Amino acid sequence: MEKQKAQEKKGKLFKFEIVTVNARGKIIKRTRKQARYQTEDLGKGVTLEMVSIPEGRFLMGSPETEKYRNREGPQHQVTLEPFYMGKDPVTQAQYEAVMGKNPSWFKSWFKGKNRPVEKVSWHDAVEFCERLSEMTGRTYRLPSEAQWEYAARAGTTTPFYCGETITSKLANYGLNRKKTTDVGSFPPNAFGLYDMLGNVWEWCADPWHNNYEGAPSDGSVWEGEDPYRLLRGGSWNHSPSNCRCAYRDSNTSGNWYYSIGFRLVVFGAAWT
């Protein structure tokens, strides 16, 4: 019984396959992986899966060889505690289960609530986190920028977690499909996270800073007064260069767009 309880605290195990591509986008390696996750019941058959992200250290930002803009540097070491992150961006079904509405643009054209919610401002995303926290007793929030990049890279140092480039078979970007796609439609990264690159931009908790001068080294939210908030990951209507793991963008916290969504994190001790 005690062993079973210990396993339940660790979460369920799921298996998946990741791919690695060369500079021309050809798949040169397939690797089987596994990760643990916890499930949150949102009611009416809607669930939320949170993947366990291990503690670790990584080099945040892009090297000079990646042709980065000044806002992606200087590179700096960041050490993070374990946490859980949404397996996918928050879907329309999940958003509606918590907020009682679905603001998404694509819902009126395409059926299926497994697409990511969009047309949500940073304030909308924060309110979702607050309501979900009240429902579950766990503290859900938006990821810090450092948590987001650490989770997106999943141990890799290349521009994309799949390698030196990305293709339309590996992510939804650049108007290839002219709309969002169901979450989980493309291969995940090595942590078991789907759609970290492309589909919708994802809000982070941090306000915008022009570069990493003075950035925290512990993965915490970098506080500030700037009304602009961080966006990461690129989207269905942006170029592949905007989908790089190191790419940074921003928008005003009250603005929304049909290419902006969000993903959740919760502290690593939430299920212990």
> How do the domains of the chain map onto residue ranges?
2-267
Place of tokens 């679905």: 102
pLDDT of residue 4: 43
Q: What residue type is assigned to position 61 of the chain?
A: G
CATH, range 2-267: 3.90.1580.10
Whether the full predicted model's pTM is greater than 0.85, yes or no, is yes
pLDDT of residue 66: 86
Inter-CA distances, 193 with 40, 94, 131, 183, 186, Å? 16, 17, 24, 10, 10
35-87 pLDDT tens trace? 999 999 999 899 999 999 999 999 999 998 887 778 999 999 999 999 999 99
* CA dihedral of residues 168, 171, 177, 181 (deg, nearest 10): 150
Tokens of 16: 């998946």
pLDDT of residue 68: 77
pLDDT of residue 109: 58
Please give the Cα distance from 272 to 81 (Å, whole number).
15
CB-CB contact of 213 with 70 (8 Å): no
Tokens of 155: 């141990």
Element (DSSP H or E) covering residue 129:
helix 122-136
pLDDT of residue 108: 57
Tokens of 86: 């949404």
Ranges of the chain whose pLDDT falls below 50 = 1-5
CB-CB contact of 192 with 51 (8 Å): yes
Tokens of 249: 């963008």
Q: What residue type is assigned to position 187 of the chain?
A: P
